[in-house]
Structure 1
Amino acid sequence: MFLPLTEKELNRLEDMLIVYGNDYSVINLAELNGFFTALASSPNTVQPMEWLPAVAGGHVPKFKKPADEEAYTALMLRYASQVAEDLEDDVDGFEPLFEQGEGDQGTEVVMEEWCFGYMRGTQVAGWAALPTEQDALLKTISLHGLEDNVELLDQMSEQNIQQCVPQVIDAVRQLYRFYSRQR
């Protein structure tokens, strides 16, 4: 069992995502949380040597010093374990790390980056075709997590997007349950 990351460690991890990231890498903790949620939900175990380069945009970052590489790797491993343990311990209470933003009606949930991370995780884990019910659940998430759907989202009102939040959370929980029965 890993100790959950402290707020200071989470901030350091997010800073490292920015410093060592590129146009193809995971950009923030919300996206990383989505990515690790998909990996933890996957029917396939994905080893860190497979997912670490995917987080960094397809390659292992060139670190400025060995201590940065050690910290980056240790924080990634602990955070991946933390997300997996959160799901395993209480899938019904699991809450994705969505961002918050200011909208016309005040503070609103921003799901896109988390959903993009989730969809990246399904690709890295090589999720196979799903049965109809589970495919519909994944489409609930992919609506907010694939470039192909950006125009569709632009046509939706903020209110409609906010109404999708509980549906996405439910889809995440159901997909985890579906695959956990198969492991």
Structure 2
Amino acid sequence: MLPPLSEKELDRLEDLLITYGNDYSVLNLAELNGFFTALASSPTTVMPEQWLPAVAGGKVPKFKKPAHEEAYTALMLRYASQVAEELGDDVDHFEPLFEESEGEEGSVIIMEEWCFGYMRGTQVAGWAELPPEQDQLLKAISLHGLEDNFELLDQMSEADIQACVPQVTEAARRLYRYHRLQD
């Protein structure tokens, strides 16, 4: 069992995502956390050689230095393992890594990046069609994680969007249980 990433290692991983990222890649830890949550919740095991290129937007980046490649891969593998362990150890208390920003009303949770990462993870893992109950759970996440839904989100108030935070969290927990533990 690998130790969880330290704050410094998480910062390094995010720096590498940004440095080697492109328009199609995962660019921050929130999106990466969502991606790894979906992979850990998947009915099938997805190997790093399948998901590493997906994180990078299609193909593994050309690294400027061998040390960058080693750090990128090692930190990625450890973070994937860490997210899977968090879910497996205590799914009832799993908390997605949402971003926060300061709004006029105080702190606001931003789910978009995490949800986009989650949906990318379901695509990489090739999730099959879900039964109606689980499909509704996935829709709670995809509402915030697919460009097709931007118009719907634009019509929602900030309060309505914030009210979705516990729904998205619970959906992630229940989808993990469904695939991993078969509720």
Q: Report what 2:24 is aligned to.
A: 24
Q: Residue 5 of structure 1 aligns to a residue in which SS?
A: coil
Q: Residue 64 of structure 1 aligns to a residue in which SS?
A: coil
Q: Report what 1:119 is aligned to.
A: 119
Offset of residue 48 of structure 1: 0.2
Offset of residue 106 of structure 1: 1.0
Matched, 1:158 2:158: yes
- Superposition misfits of 4+ residues, deviation over 4 angstroms: none
The one-letter amino acid paired with 2:17 is L
Deviations 1:37-69 (A, max 9, x none): 000000010000000000000001000011110
Give the alignment of 1:1-150 within 5 angstroms: 1-150=1-150
Offset of residue 151 of structure 1: 1.0
Q: Residue 180 of structure 1 aligns to a residue in which SS?
A: helix
Whole-angstrom CA distance in 1 between matches of 2:69 and 2:86: 26
Name structure 2 gaps, 5 residues minimum: none
Offset of residue 105 of structure 1: 1.3
TM-score by length of 2: 0.98
The one-letter amino acid paired with 2:163 is Q
Q: Residue 44 of structure 2 aligns to a residue in which SS?
A: coil
The one-letter amino acid paired with 1:34 is G
Q: Residue 59 of structure 2 aligns to a residue in which SS?
A: coil
Offset of residue 2 of structure 1: 1.1
Whole-angstrom CA distance in 2 between matches of 1:181 and 1:6: 29
Whole-angstrom CA distance in 1 between matches of 2:3 and 2:181: 26
Q: Residue 100 of structure 2 aligns to a residue in which SS?
A: strand
TM-score by length of 1: 0.98
Whole-angstrom CA distance in 1 between matches of 2:177 and 2:82: 18
Offset of residue 102 of structure 1: 1.9
Offset of residue 19 of structure 1: 0.2
Matched, 1:167 2:156: no
Deviations 1:52-102 (A, max 9, x none): 000000001000011110110000000000000000000001000000012
Provide the alpha-carbon RMSD of the alignment: 0.6
Whole-angstrom CA distance in 2 between matches of 1:181 and 1:100: 31
Q: Residue 153 of structure 2 aligns to a residue in which SS?
A: helix
Offset of residue 27 of structure 1: 1.1
Whole-angstrom CA distance in 1 between matches of 2:59 and 2:92: 35
Identity rate, percent: 78
